[in-house]
Structure 1
Amino acid sequence: MTIDEIIDFVEGLDGTLVVRPEAGDGSPEISWGDAFFSYAPDGVVPQATQPFATIVTKNYPGDETSRLDRPGAFRVNAAVGRETFTDRTGHAPGEPAGYDPGATDVVIAHPVYGSAAWLAVVNPGPRTDAAVRQLLRHACDLARARYERRRRAG
């Protein structure tokens, strides 16, 4: 999967908003080239919530273990909830796991946000294409449910 294929897929999910920071838009330079996916049926970036998924194209401070400084490397990340996280990894969020955070085309616990039930895939390919799509759809569904709960409570 390419970054553009992932973005096209997420844009096809109902109510999603894709933000792609770039030079001159006021976003921090470190975020340029990345993508942030939110559930925002009104088309406005939500201020009170985090994105439900992201694509990062470089190492961030404190998040170097995926080795995104390799040519062409990127990582797709999704907030999938505790149950899906445990089903996919075989352990609860925050529990130690013996995996290589830089391995490609493998679903892993996010190297920094795994304890918050985020999963990640570095350079998704044939082995993880279907899983990435399923995880992104699920993360969007969870974000939609949170949005609806807040709106009803509102």
Structure 2
Amino acid sequence: MNEDAVREAITRGYADLEVIESSGNFFFQVRSGQEAGPDRWLPFATLVTNDLYDQASRLDRPSVFRLNVGVSPETYRSLFGAVPRGNGASVIDTGHDYTALDRLMPHPLYAPMAWVCVLNPSEATFQALQPLLNEAYTRATRREATRAERRDR
């Protein structure tokens, strides 16, 4: 799949979705009803197309992009074992090759927050990611509902 197909599949697959584009990267979040400035971005998934945020995946290669998904710590543990602790380094050493294509792995920076990623997922890998995307979306929907309740008080 190319990045347009991934972006379209996510956009088509979830209701109440807000897609924010910034510097060629895409942030998928549940629509909050609030102005979507950078301080309000709480995405459940992102599609990163360049090395602005980190160089671990070498997204400067032609047509390489990274799909990132925020899962629960329990799901992360079921996939990769213990959630790593942040060590102050820019890249978390999980033993994975962050430049490998079409392979689910911990996120190079946000693994301590239970984020996972895949570079250039194939159709089969993207389909296998659906339960993770669904979980991330459900968690974001619940989080946004809680935030809305607090705002309405």
Shorter-chain TM-score category?
0.7 to 0.9
Q: Which amino acid aligns with 1:125?
A: S
Contact 1:55 1:74 in 2 (8 A): yes
Between Structure 1 and Structure 2, how many residues are aligned?
143
Q: Deviations over 1:100-142 (max 9, x none)?
A: 0111111111001111111110111145222333222221111
Q: Secondary structure at the match of 1:145?
A: helix
Structure 2 unmatched runs, 5+: 87-92
Q: Secondary structure at the match of 1:66?
A: coil
1:75 paired residue number: 66
1:25 paired residue number: none
Q: Which amino acid aligns with 1:91?
A: A
2:89 paired residue number: none
Structure 1 unmatched runs, 5+: 22-31
Q: Secondary structure at the match of 1:19?
A: strand
Q: TM-score, with normalisation over the residues of structure 2? A: 0.82
Q: TM-score, with normalisation over the residues of structure 1? A: 0.81
Q: Which amino acid aligns with 1:19?
A: I
Matches of 1:151 and 1:112, distance apart in 2: 29
C-alpha RMSD of matched pairs (Å): 2.1
Question: Which structure has greater helix proportion?
Answer: 2
Matches of 1:70 and 1:100, distance apart in 2: 15
Q: Which amino acid aligns with 2:43?
A: P
Q: Provide the identity percentage.
A: 33
Which deviates the most, 80-89 or 124-133?
Answer: 124-133
Contact 1:17 1:38 in 2 (8 A): yes
Task: Return the offset for 1:66.
Answer: 0.7
Matches of 2:145 and 2:123, distance apart in 1: 34
